[in-house]
Structure 1
Amino acid sequence: MSLIGNVIVGLVALLHVYILILEMFLWEKPAGLKAFRQTKESAAATKVLAANQGLYNGFLAAGLFWGLSLGSAGHDVKVFFLACVLLAGLYGAATASKKILYIQALPALLGLILLNVA
């Protein structure tokens, strides 16, 4: 199960790199507007906040990649960063959009379960 768990960790990390790109670089572009259902006006007004959020998503991805790079010694690092992703996803689902529960929180929860089954 640890191989499948590590695959999930990698996918969650890649997802957060994608979110970083959307929030930091594509926020006011068609892809960012569509992904976050923003108008051009609201995106312009929140560009700095979105870039800040993107940076935090990058830190989550970096932590997950770091844990993967450590091999079996990185178990606790992966668990910590997946827990951070899970909590961020739960908070986002409660405050912003229910779809964050499925896109962010549930994959992190699945990774946590799979890393701790073996």
Structure 2
Amino acid sequence: MALAANIVIGLVGLIHVWILVLEMFLWTSPTGRKAFGLKPDFAEATKVLAANQGLYNGFLAAGLFWGLSLGTGGFGVKVFFLLCVLTAGLYGAATASRRILVIQAIPALLGLALLFIS
């Protein structure tokens, strides 16, 4: 189960790296606009805010990868950052889009569950 937990945590980290790329570098591109359902003028007007948001997603990914790099000693780090992702996912699902529940919150919850049963 520990291997399954680490795989899920790695995937959650990779998802957040992708979100960083979308928000920091592709926000105004067709790919970024499609991912977030944005009109070109809105994307242009909000690109600085999105880049800031992307940076925070990068910190979540970095924390998850840090926890993985610590092996069994990284349990607390993994739990902390998965809880951060879960909280962000629940808030995003409640305020922005229900899709965030599937993209962020559920994978984080799965990672937490696997961590605690391994």
How would you bin the TM-score normalised by the shorter chain?
Answer: over 0.9
TM-score by length of 1: 0.99
Quote the Cα distance in structure 1 between the aligned partners of 2:44 and 2:75. Answer: 40
Deviation at residue 93 of structure 1 after TM alignment: 0.2
Structure 1 stretches lacking a partner, 5+ long: none
Q: What is the match of residue 66 of structure 1? A: 66
Note if 1:5 corresponds to 2:5.
yes
* TM value normalised by structure 2: 0.99
Structure 1 residue 56: Cα displacement: 0.1
1:34 equivalent in structure 2: 34
Q: Deviations over 1:26-59 (max 9, x none)?
A: 0000110100000110000100110000000000
Offset at residue 94 of structure 1 (A)? 0.2
Helix, strand or coil: the match of 2:28?
Answer: coil
* Paired letter, 2:41: E
Give the equivalent residue in structure 1 for 2:92: 92
Query: Identity rate of aligned residues, in percent?
Result: 70
Match for 1:31: what amino acid? Answer: T
Give, in whole Å, the separation in 2 of the partners of 1:112 and 1:104.
12
Report the equivalent of 2:82. Answer: 82
Task: Give the letter aligned to residue 88 of structure 1.
Answer: A
Counterpart-to-counterpart distance in 1, 2:102 and 2:14: 16
Q: Which residue does 2:55 correspond to in 1? A: 55
CA distance in 2, matches of 1:111, 1:25: 28
SS of the aligned residue for 1:26 comes to: coil
Which of structure 1's runs of 4+ aligned residues deviate more than 4 A? none
Q: Measure the CA separation in 2 of the matches of 1:111 and 1:38.
A: 30
Q: Name stretches of at least 5 consecutive residues in structure 2 with no aligned partner.
A: none
**Partners of 1:32 and 1:82 in 2: CA distance:** 25
RMSD: 0.4
How many matched pairs? Answer: 118
Q: Return the alpha-carbon distance in structure 2 between the equivalents of residues 82 and 30 of structure 1.
A: 30
